[in-house]
C-alpha cells in the first residue's frame, strides 16, 4: 500500500482531467476497473459536469529566468483549475494571486478554484518573503475546455445482489494521507475480498470528491435500493487513532458494526456523530438517498496541521497505519457479511444439543464454555428479529464465537436464516 501511495504521489489530480485517468490506470494494474467518462454539461442532480482541466506546466520566473515557483517540482504549486495565463507583472500585482501559510512558513498550501475562473500559485511563505521587488514572468500552460469527468468502479460479485459500496476520492494532487492512503487501502481491501466468497456484492467507487459522488448517484438512482451499506475511506494512513463518523441515520447496520468492531478490538478510537460536512458520506447520506454510509479515517479531515499542505507527503503516512486501517475494514466487513437473522426451528424448550453431537464438536476448544453459551444465546434470540450482532452485544460474547455457534446450529438444522 505504501508503495502505491509513492507511485501516485507525483501525479497532478483534480476533479477532471488526465491526472485522474493516470491515477486510475495505475490502480487498474492492481484490480480491474470499469472506467466511466461523463461529458461536460451533463446534468447530475442539481449540478452540471464542469469543463475538463488539464495542465502541462506552470511557473513564476524572476528577471534572470529562474523559476522561483515551479509546478514541475510539485503539483501543489498551482491553484487547482487555474485558467491559462502568460504575462509579466510586478510583484505587488502578483501577490493577489499567491497563496501561502504564514503560520507554517515552510509548507505549501493546497488551494483550488473549481467553479470560478481564476489563476494562482501556492508557495511557502519563506519563499515569498525572499522575493525581491521587480517584474516576474507568470505562466500557466493549462486548458479548460469541454471534455469529461472520469470515475471508475470495481465490483466483487457476492452471493446476493445487495451491495456494500466503498468510496474514495481521487481528486487531490500530491497529498499522501488525503487522499492517496484511502485509495491504497480501498484497492488492497478489494484484493482481499476477491479472494473470499462474500455474501454481499462489493462495489468500489473511485471518483472525484463531491461532483464525482453526485455524478455516481445521479447515474445509479434507479438501482440505489440495492445499496444496503457503505463506507467512505479518507485520511487512512496517518499515525493518529482510528475515527469512525456515523451515517446520517446513526443507527444503520454499518454504524453498529463499526462501533462493535472498534470497541471489541480494544484499539484506541473515537466514534463521531454525522455532520453534513466532510467527505462524500454527505452525498450518499443526503436525505433523498439516506443511505447507510459511514466514513472511516484516522485523524479526521482538518484535524491535523499537515492537512491540505505539502507536509501531507509520503513521510506523513505509515505502512503500519494503513495496515491497521485495512485490518479494521476487513474485520468490519467480515461481521457485516455474517450478520444474519435466524429462526429457531425447535423453539419450544431447549433442544437437546448433546444427542446432535454439538457439544462433542466443541471438545478441545479453549473457549468451550463460551461456545456453549453462544449456542444457547443464538437459540434464545433466533426469533427472526435479532441478528447475530444483537446476540454478540447482548451476551457480551465475541462475534466470531457467536457466528461459529450459528453455523453449527444451522448445520444441525436447529435454526434457519
CATH of the domain at 350: 1.10.10.10
329 with 366, same domain: the answer is: no
Could you tell me the three cell numbers for 336?
A: 457485516
Nearest-5° Cα angle at 36, 21 to 57 = 25
Query: Is residue 298 within 8 Å of 243, Cβ to Cβ?
Result: yes
Last residue of a domain, one of 145, 166, 184: 145
354 and 333 inside one domain: no
Same domain, 10 and 99: no
Give the model confidence (pLDDT) of 317-332 as tens digits.
Answer: 999 999 999 999 999 9
Mean of pLDDT over the chain: 96
- What percent of the chain is predicted at pLDDT more than 70? 98
Q: Per-residue pLDDT for 362 more than 70?
A: no
Read off the CATH number of the domain in which 21 is found: 3.40.630.10
Same domain, 294 and 189: yes
Tens-place pLDDT, residues 79-136: 999 999 999 999 999 999 999 999 999 999 999 999 999 999 999 999 999 999 999 9
Greatest C-alpha distance within the chain: 93
How far from 310 is each of 49, 99, 152, 194, 306, CA to CA, in Å?
Answer: 28, 13, 27, 35, 7
Contact 295, 279 (CB under 8 A): yes
How far apart (Å, rounded) are the C-alpha atoms in residues 94 and 135? 9
Measure CA 160 to chain center.
23
The residues, ordered by sequence, that sit 6+ positions from 390 with a Cβ below 8 Å of its Cβ are: 381
pLDDT mean over 355-365: 68
Residue 154's alpha-carbon distances to 32, 44, 51, 391, in angstroms, are 6, 21, 26, 33
Supply the range of the domain harboring residue 94: 52-145
- Residue 4: what are its φ and ψ, rounded to 5°? -65, -40
| pLDDT one-digit tens code per residue, 203-255 | 999 999 999 999 999 999 999 999 999 999 999 999 999 999 999 999 999 99
Band the pLDDT of 357: cuts 50, 70, 90. Answer: confident
- In this structure, are strands 341-344 and 242-245 parallel, antiparallel, or unpaired? unpaired
Q: Cα torsion for 257, 259, 265, 267, to the nearest 10°?
A: 140
Both 34 and 121 in one domain: the answer is: no
Number of structural domains in the chain: 3
What long-range pairs does 316-319 form, CB within 8 A, spacing at least 24?
316/176, 316/177, 316/237, 316/238, 317/2, 317/5, 317/176, 317/177, 317/180, 317/181, 317/237, 317/238, 318/2, 318/237, 318/238, 318/239, 319/1, 319/2
* Environment class of 16 (CB within 10 Å of its CB; exposed 0-12, middle 13-18, buried 19+): buried
Verify that 69 and 203 share a domain, yes or no.
no
Looking at the structure, tell me whether residues 85 and 18 fall in a common domain: no
Q: Report the alpha-carbon angle 28-257-351, nearest 5.
A: 120
pLDDT value, residue 365: 57
End-to-end CA distance of the chain: 37
Mark which of 96, 124, 145 sits at the end of a domain. Answer: 145
DSSP string covering 293-351: EEEEESSPTT-STTTTBTTSSGGGS-HHHHHHHHHHHHHHHHHHHH--EEEESS-SS--
282 and 257 in a single domain? The answer is yes
pLDDT for the residue numbered 355? 86
CA dist., res. 10 & res. 109, Å (int): 16
pLDDT value for 356: 87
Question: Is pLDDT of 364 > 90?
Answer: no
Q: Is the pLDDT of residue 285 over 70?
A: yes
State the pLDDT at residue 363. 52
Q: What is the pLDDT of residue 354?
A: 83
Q: Domain check: are 178 and 316 in the same one?
A: yes
Q: In Å, how far are 242, 332, 334, 337, 398 from 261, measured between CA atoms?
A: 12, 6, 10, 13, 10
Q: How far is CA 267 from CA 54, 132, 176, 272, in A?
A: 42, 52, 23, 16
Which DSSP symbol is given to 236? Answer: -
* pLDDT > 70? residue 298: yes
Among 287, 313, 338, give the residue marking a domain's end. Answer: 338
Q: Find the CATH number of the domain harbouring 83.
A: 3.50.30.90
228 plus 316 within the same structural domain: yes
Q: pLDDT digit string (tens) for 43-71?
A: 999 999 999 999 999 999 999 999 999 99
At 359, the pLDDT band (50, 70, 90 cuts) reads: confident
- Are residues 351 and 299 part of one domain? no
- Quickly state the pLDDT bin for 361 (edges 50, 70, 90): low
Q: Over 60: is that where the pLDDT of 173 sits?
A: yes
Residues 273 and 306 reside in one and the same domain: yes
- Cβ burial of 188 (10 Å; 0-12, 13-18, 19+) is buried
Amino acid at each position: 500500500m505504501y508503495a502505491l501511495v509513492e507511485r501516485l504521489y507525483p501525479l497532478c489530480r483534480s476533479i477532471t482531467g488526465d491526472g485522474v485517468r493516470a491515477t486510475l490506470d495505475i490502480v487498474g494494474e492492481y484490480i480491474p476497473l470499469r472506467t466511466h467518462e461523463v461529458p461536460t454539461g451533463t446534468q447530475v442532480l442539481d449540478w452540471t459536469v464542469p469543463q475538463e482541466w488539464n495542465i502541462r506546466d506552470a511557473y513564476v520566473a524572476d528577471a534572470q529566468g529562474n523559476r522561483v515557483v515551479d509546478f514541475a517540482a510539485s503539483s501543489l504549486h498551482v491553484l487547482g483549475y487555474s485558467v491559462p495565463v502568460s504575462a509579466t507583472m510586478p510583484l505587488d500585482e502578483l501577490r493577489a494571486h499567491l497563496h501561502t501559510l504564514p503560520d507554517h512558513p515552510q509548507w505549501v498550501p493546497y488551494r483550488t478554484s473549481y467553479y470560478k475562473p481564476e489563476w494562482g500559485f501556492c508557495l511557502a511563505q519563506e519563499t515569498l518573503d525572499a522575493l525581491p521587488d521587480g517584474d516576474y514572468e507568470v505562466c500557466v500552460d493549462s486548458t479548460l475546455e469541454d471534455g469529461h469527468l472520469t470515475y471508475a468502479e470495481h465490483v466483487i460479485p457476492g452471493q446476493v445482489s445487495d451491495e456494500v459500496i466503498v468510496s474514495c476520492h481521487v481528486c487531490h494532487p500530491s497529498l499522501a494521507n488525503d487522499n492517496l492512503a484511502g485509495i491504497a487501502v480501498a484497492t488492497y481491501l478489494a484484493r482481499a475480498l476477491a479472494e473470499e466468497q462474500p455474501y454481499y456484492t462489493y462495489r468500489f467507487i473511485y471518483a472525484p470528491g463531491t461532483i464525482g459522488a453526485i455524478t455516481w448517484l445521479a447515474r445509479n438512482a434507479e438501482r440505489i435500493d440495492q445499496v444496503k451499506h457503505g463506507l467512505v475511506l479518507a485520511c487512512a494512513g496517518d499515525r493518529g487513532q482510528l475515527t469512525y463518523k456515523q451515517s446520517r441515520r446513526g443507527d444503520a447496520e454499518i454504524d453498529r458494526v463499526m462501533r462493535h468492531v472498534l470497541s471489541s478490538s480494544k484499539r484506541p478510537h473515537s466514534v463521531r456523530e454525522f455532520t453534513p460536512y466532510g467527505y462524500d458520506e454527505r452525498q450518499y447520506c443526503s436525505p433523498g438517498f439516506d443511505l447507510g454510509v459511514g466514513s472511516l479515517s484516522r485523524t479526521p479531515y482538518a484535524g491535523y496541521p499537515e492537512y491540505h499542505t505539502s507536509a501531507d507527503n509520503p513521510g506523513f503516512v505509515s505502512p503500519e497505519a494503513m495496515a491497521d486501517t485495512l485490518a479494521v475494514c476487513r474485520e468490519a466487513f467480515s461481521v457485516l457479511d455474517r450478520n444474519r437473522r435466524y429462526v429457531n426451528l425447535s423453539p419450544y424448550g431447549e433442544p437437546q444439543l448433546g444427542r446432535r453431537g454439538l457439544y462433542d464438536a466443541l471438545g478441545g476448544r479453549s473457549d468451550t464454555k463460551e461456545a456453549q453459551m453462544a449456542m444457547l444465546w443464538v437459540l434464545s434470540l433466533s426469533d427472526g428479529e435479532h441478528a447475530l450482532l444483537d446476540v454478540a452485544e447482548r451476551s457480551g460474547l465475541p462475534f466470531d464465537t457467536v457466528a461459529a455457534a450459528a453455523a453449527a446450529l444451522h448445520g444441525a438444522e436447529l435454526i434457519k436464516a
